[in-house]
Amino acid sequence: MTTAEFKKTVLAGIPTELPALKEFDKTLNHAPKRKDILNEAEKKLALRNALRYFDKKHHAVLAKEFAEELKTYGRIYMYRFRPDYKIYARPINDFPHQSKQAAAIMHMLSNNLDYAVAQHPHELITYGGNGAVFQNWAQYLLTMQYLATITDEQTLTLYSGHPMGIFPSHKDAPRVVITNGMMIPNYSKPDDWEKFNALGVTQYGQMTAGSFMYIGPQGIVHGTTITVMNAARKISKSEEDRKGKLFVTCGLGGMSGAQPKAAKIAGLVSVTAEINPKAAKTRHTQGWVDELHENLDELITRVKKAVAAKEAVSLAYQGNVVDLWERLVKENIKVDIGSDQTSLHNPWAGGYYPAGFSLEESNKMMAENPAQFKKEVQKTLVRHANAVNTLAAKGMYFFDYGNAFLLEASRAGADIVNADGTFKYKSYVQDILGPMCFDYGFGPFRWVCTSADANDLKKTDELALEVLQDMYKTAPDEIKQQLSDNIAWIKNAMENNLVVGSQARILYADSEARIRIAEAMNKAIAENKISAPVVLGRDHHDVSGTDSPYRETSNIYDGSQFTADMAVQNFVGDAFRGATWISLHNGGGVGWGEVMNGGFGLVLDGSADADRRLKQMLFWDVNNGIARRSWARNKEALFAIKREMNRTPNLKVTIPNLVDDNLLEGLV
Ligand SMILES: NC(=O)c1ccc[n+]([C@@H]2O[C@H](COP(=O)([O-])OP(=O)(O)OC[C@H]3O[C@@H](n4cnc5c(N)ncnc54)[C@H](O)[C@@H]3O)[C@@H](O)[C@H]2O)c1
């Protein structure tokens, strides 16, 4: 299809005549069949809801077809309406548009649905098994049409993928406001997602899926490298001593697949279990994992050899992780670091596979006998935790990888909770990312060159490197390690060939670094040194955007970790300080009802407006969270916010008075 035809098709929105039916493409990775949760009246409602996107003359045909989709897949995806053109992050000017900002948003959302990037592209799922960009293809078509026609005086409103419409606003307003999965709190249990998603009225946007900010595996390679490297630093200070240490974990999926790559960068021997042969093969073909083993005997021999030879090598076990852990216990092998990245945020719908069943048997049981499936998962989780406990007692450092492993294991009745109600193990945010990064304002700052030109990306890398190196010269000791880790990362980023999909980059930076890098890029665009707008954004897994008591805010200890004011304040504050689009999500990472997270996109076009917006918005976007973390008495955040107040005269943050705990003894 030519670019002109593509533009015409986008502008046409939902076609007036029915496109031909599409064959189900078996070569692609598809979402599992979802639970059959609706009663008869609700199924009719789901059909009525789906049909409202289409002219009445098509209802007879589509009603039958959608009823069949609901029966076969548990959802109505409207497969017939999947466009014939290839969806990917095209150069910005290839998208029909009235507003450059809107074209940049099309570039970003298209990337989330690119076959090379998305986990289940035909079901509009980007990652994490249920991280949806839209609920169905009608929403996609309509949103693209709206974005192609919107001006800089309008704002598009997206309700869980549904484009409610474009409303008059002004040039400093966001072009798009996204909310995903906002529920009345009492209706936010996992089965509520199943039901209301099947009805077509809500979706699980994960973090960067429903907010159009996914940049493929790079984001996760960087974050995982920082985490695994610092986990290794926790058990051993010298690089030499870390060689040959054994790291055992699970998951070669969307995010989890970065673990073996990160472990190799950190110089460790790693074993990652993965039950799905397709996922294992993908990561092996990509070179993210060195060796695949199906046979546990052979694997164990290989592990012993690698540890003895202090080989930095990544091994994968194709099978159930519990079989691996139990075997390691039986063999009395010393595991130095342990973790888990199964999708336990989604335990009953394919996020975690029970031991003793093949993948196919499990998938069948999940759809046909969900109660039995739940029982088997819980039984497996108890065994899983027991094996971890045995190895931890022998010195293994275990951390929860923010996937709700400890939470679900405790709900399954595993021996994982201390007498005071806390978990036996810390999460990676409590031990690593919180105190070392988030509390200082360091978080996953990312950008995308909408020219889709690698030369632009190279220039932005150079600008970022200059800023970080300059900051390092005068940085306090507290943040030198973070800066030097990111200087090393950005220096090698181009050679490491991390781009999949859009021309994107990520690094961890604090408020000052984010602003200075963004200013430098905006200036370079104005001077035509960068050929097209750059989109700034971030992962929601950051300092301020996310309230998640078992993950991002798990190192908040004043009780407020169960509140979501920070994420909501962040979303609103970003909106009126100049974000081009903003999003607020229920769920993401640890699960529906368990987290509130928000993000933004900010388009740099070289203008003075962009310069003003970036300064205001990025400053707030980081310092909101540092202020909250310092109020929670986190010492690193207290350091960071006081430093920021010294730099910024019109910032005044309420500082906590610390209490001498002896005073409290005997009072209650
Ligand atoms: N990487 C990070 O920085 C990070 C941070 C926070 C949270 N997480 C969490 O990690 C989890 C994983 O994310 P993902 O995108 O990789 O999900 P995913 O679903 O793509 O991958 C998980 C993998 O685990 C495999 N698996 C499930 N149960 C198994 C079992 N019993 N034995 C062997 N393999 C099994 C699945 O087949 C799947 O491939 C999510 O809950 C996510 O929220 C990741």
Q: Are the C-beta atoms of residues 525 and 592 closer than 8 Å to each other?
A: no
Mean pLDDT of all residues in 194-205: 98
Of 30, 130, 403, 590, the one to substitute when testing ligand 1's pocket (max ligand atoms within 8 A of C-beta) is: 403
Which segment, 121-130, 196-205, 482-491, is predicted with the most confidence on average? 196-205
Average pLDDT for the chain: 96
Quote the pLDDT of residue 304. 97
Sign of CA dihedral 208, 174, 560, 624: positive
Structure tokens at 166: 């474009």
Task: Identify the CA nearest to 105 among candidates 156, 68, 59.
Answer: 156
pLDDT, one tens digit per residue, over 245-282 is 999 999 999 889 999 999 998 889 999 999 999 999 98
Atom 43, ligand 1: residue with shortest CA distance: 589
Quick one: CA torsion of 588, 592, 597, 602, rounded to 10 degrees? 60
Quote the pLDDT of residue 218. 86
Using DSSP's 3-state secondary structure scheme, residue 625 falls into: helix
Quote the pLDDT of residue 493. 87
Atom of ligand 1 nearest to the CA of 404: 41
**Euclidean distance between CA atoms 432 and 231, whole angstroms:** 7
Using DSSP's 3-state secondary structure scheme, residue 508 falls into: strand
pLDDT, one tens digit per residue, over 611-668 is 999 999 999 999 999 999 999 999 999 999 999 999 999 999 999 999 999 999 999 9
**Euclidean distance between CA atoms 599 and 210, whole angstroms:** 10
User: Ligand 1: distance of its center to the CA of 397 in Å?
Assistant: 20
**Euclidean distance between CA atoms 148 and 144, whole angstroms:** 6
Atom of ligand 1 nearest to the CA of 119: 20
User: Ligand 1: distance of its center to the CA of 317 in Å?
Assistant: 15
User: Ligand 1: distance of its center to the CA of 133 in Å?
Assistant: 19
Lowest-confidence pick of 42-51, 275-284, 465-474, 626-635: 275-284
* Angle, in degrees to the nearest 10, between helices 608-631 and 565-576: 160
Atom 13, ligand 1: residue with shortest CA distance: 255
**Euclidean distance between CA atoms 80 and 507, whole angstroms:** 39
List, chain by chain if needed, residues with CB within 6 Å of any ligand 1 atom: 127-129, 220, 223-224, 250-256, 273-276, 279, 320-321, 341-345, 352-353, 401-403, 551, 589
CA 661 to chain centre: 38
Structure tokens at 447: 């950008």
Quote the pLDDT of residue 402. 86
Quote the pLDDT of residue 430. 94
Structure tokens at 3: 């670019």
Of 130, 341, 359, 538, the one to substitute when testing ligand 1's pocket (max ligand atoms within 8 A of C-beta) is: 341
Determine phi and psi for 272, rounding to 5 degrees. -120, 125
Taking CA atoms, 580 is separated from 170, 466, 576, 610, in Å, by 12, 26, 10, 10
In the numeric block, the tokens 């015409």 are attached to: 8
Residue 88, number of CB atoms within 10 A of its CB: 16
Structure tokens at 237: 């200070």
Task: Assess whether pLDDT exceeds 90 at residue 338.
Answer: yes
* Helices and strands (DSSP H and E) totals, the chain: 23, 17
- Please compute, for residue 433, the number of CA atoms within 13 A of its CA located in the half-sphere on the CB side: 27
User: Ligand 1: distance of its center to the CA of 353 in Å?
Assistant: 11
User: Ligand 1: distance of its center to the CA of 578 in Å?
Assistant: 34
5: buried, middle or exposed (CB in 10 Å: 19+, 13-18, 0-12)?
Answer: exposed
**Euclidean distance between CA atoms 645 and 664, whole angstroms:** 31
**Euclidean distance between CA atoms 217 and 206, whole angstroms:** 15
Q: What is the DSSP string of 17-72?
A: SPPPP----TTS--PPPPP----HHHHHHHHHHHHTTS-GGGHHHHHHHHHHHHHH
Q: Are the C-beta atoms of residues 154 and 166 closer than 8 Å to each other?
A: yes
**Euclidean distance between CA atoms 110 and 96, whole angstroms:** 13
Task: Assess whether pLDDT exceeds 90 at residue 550.
Answer: no
**Euclidean distance between CA atoms 224 and 234, whole angstroms:** 15
Q: Where does residue 652 fall: left (phi above 0), alpha (psi -120 to 50 degrees), or beta otherwise?
A: beta
Task: Assess whether pLDDT exceeds 90 at residue 590.
Answer: no
Taking CA atoms, 272 is separated from 6, 339, 345, 394, in Å, by 42, 10, 19, 20
Lowest-confidence pick of 75-89, 218-232, 294-308, 366-380: 218-232
**Strand runs labelled E in 595-658:** 596-604
Share above pLDDT 90 across residues of the chain, in percent, rounded to a whole number: 91
Using DSSP's 3-state secondary structure scheme, residue 316 falls into: strand
Determine phi and psi for 237, rounding to 5 degrees. -75, -35
User: Ligand 1: distance of its center to the CA of 591 in Å?
Assistant: 12
Quote the pLDDT of residue 287. 87
Task: Identify the CA nearest to 403 among candidates 523, 240, 259, 214.
Answer: 259
**Euclidean distance between CA atoms 471 and 450, whole angstroms:** 27
Task: Assess whether pLDDT exceeds 80 at residue 521.
Answer: yes
Determine phi and psi for 596, rounding to 5 degrees. -120, 125
User: Ligand 1: distance of its center to the CA of 192 in Å?
Assistant: 22
**Euclidean distance between CA atoms 398 and 427, whole angstroms:** 9
Beta bridge partners, 180, equal 585
